[in-house]
A and B are shown apart, each in its own frame.
Chain A
Amino acid sequence: QVQLVESGGGVVQPGRSLRLSCAASGFTFSSYALHWVRQAPGKGLEWLAVISYDGSNKYYADSVKGRFTISRDNSKNTLYLQMNSLRAEDTAVYYCARDLARCTSPACPFDHWGQGTLVTVSS
């Protein structure tokens, strides 16, 4: 079955960096676009970034553009999120998510999500 497992969260000081990973299994990883979505404590969902199936296209939300970088290693079935210049407002649970299978629209909703990893930015 499809599995997405995030790791790399933790407590980090403001201004520092952190890299999240999302290990995938149960599907052809190299065929799907993948996303990062976050949820601040007690708040709603915020889409952050997408990377195309082959890594050639990447798009970001304005809130993280220039600070966060999405990447993937199709040989390792792993998605990454490099987070630099972290701020208190980046404190959230970070989810990776997969495009809906059989999706034929220009963009797709997300049919599988990881369990999330908590990032806390605090001094």
Chain B
Amino acid sequence: DIQMTQSPSTLSASVGDRVTITCRASQSVSSWLAWYQQKSGKAPKLLIYKASSLESGVPSRFSGSGSGTEFTLTISSLQPDDFATYYCQQYNTYWTFGQGTKVEIK
């Protein structure tokens, strides 16, 4: 099974900050990597797929990069609506999620 590990688990940041979340796979997943945002009590929302492709309707301040085993999600300028938990997901071999990164207000 492919394991996905995110870091950090929690991130404290301020509005306007540049934020980067890392996701590492236990083996190569090529570019088959997605990022989701989840707010409390709500379903996850797809942000990025194929490592760097922005889903329709998602603000351009979100970007993704990486391939193989190491990936990053970057929020260029954190907005109040961005405080949430973020998950990576590999879909190279079945589907596996990372444990999540909570972005909280500093």
Which residues in A have some Cβ–Cβ distance to B below 8 Å? 35, 44-47, 50, 59, 61-62, 95, 100, 105, 107-111, 113-116
Encode contact with A along B32-54: 1 for CB under 8 Å, 0 otherwise: 10101010001111100110000
Task: Pick out which of these stretches binds chain A: B10-18, B19-27, B70-78, B88-96.
Answer: B88-96
**Which residue in B32, B43, B98, B100 is a CB contact (below 8 Å) of A105?**
B32
B20 to chain A, nearest CB (A): 20
Task: Sort chain B's interface into a size bin.
Answer: 20 to 34
B99 interface hit (Cβ, 8 Å): yes
CA distance in complex: A100, B99 (Å): 22
A93 to chain B, nearest CB (A): 9
Residue of A nearest to B31 (CB): A105
Residue of A nearest to B92 (CB): A107
Chain B interface, DSSP helix/strand/loop, else mixed = loop
B44 CB contacts on chain A under 8 angstroms: 45, 95, 110, 113
Contact A111 B55 (CB under 8 A): yes
CA distance in complex: A33, B89 (Å): 17
Apart from A59-B94, A113-B45, A115-B43, list 5 A-B contacts with CB within 8 A.
A44-B100, A45-B89, A50-B94, A105-B91, A113-B43
CA distance in complex: A46, B50 (Å): 20
**Which residue in B42, B46, B91, B92 is a CB contact (below 8 Å) of A111?**
B46
Within 8 A of A (CB), among B64-106: 87, 89, 91-100
A94 to chain B, nearest CB (A): 11
